[in-house]
Amino acid sequence: MDELEIVTLIVRHRVKAGREAAYEQWLRRTTRIASTYPGHLGVNVMRDLGQFVCVLRFAGTGELQHWLDSSERRHLIEEVAPLLAEGDQTQIEAGREFWFTPSPLAPPVRWKQACITFLVILPLSLLVPLLWQPLFARLPWLGGYIASNVLITLSIVLLVVYLFMPRVTALFATWLKPR
């Protein structure tokens, strides 16, 4: 079996003023439809002053291409066109995470990336082990050194990648933008 080749589709839409609510309704429907396609691994949406950046991950190039070439996506793009100030801007990235690219120009300086990463990981590394403790107490074999560290680390990584980092990056997007 081939190793999982994660491919990221980055979609940027600048929405016309006053059309944000209609766009968000369209976006919810679109992400729901995209999630039904084979190989879809998840989506993150970041909003920044009328611009929406959607990051869709697929298990491989073929799966992503199937979504891109689909008549459903084509119809959805035609439907949203009147809501956009600029057209459908897409970018495909193979094997790259999208945490630190809120700006299409350049990634932020590394010290800012380190600060944001620290801000997200420190509270999780303090809280997640405490949350697992009741289960470890009930199932001592799960609380062993290796098993507990695997569960705690896996929990932190999943929370960082799928829940906290996209939100914190969007929250600090202005600060992260290169000058």
List the domains of the chain with CATH numbers: 7-94 (3.30.70.100), 110-176 (no CATH)
Instruction: Report pLDDT for 176.
Output: 82
- Count the Cβ atoms, other than its own, within 10 Å of residue 26: 17
Phi/psi region, residue 95 (left: phi>0; alpha: psi -120 to 50; beta: rest), is left
- What is residue 95's predicted lDDT score, i.e. its pLDDT? 57
pLDDT 10s per residue in the chain (179 long)? 344 577 888 899 999 988 989 999 999 999 999 999 998 888 888 887 678 888 888 888 889 999 999 999 999 999 999 999 988 888 887 754 545 544 444 567 889 988 999 999 999 999 999 999 999 999 999 989 999 999 999 999 989 888 888 888 878 888 887 66
pTM of the predicted structure, to 2 decimals: 0.54
Instruction: Compute the Cα dihedral for 164, 167, 172, 178 and give only its sign.
Output: positive
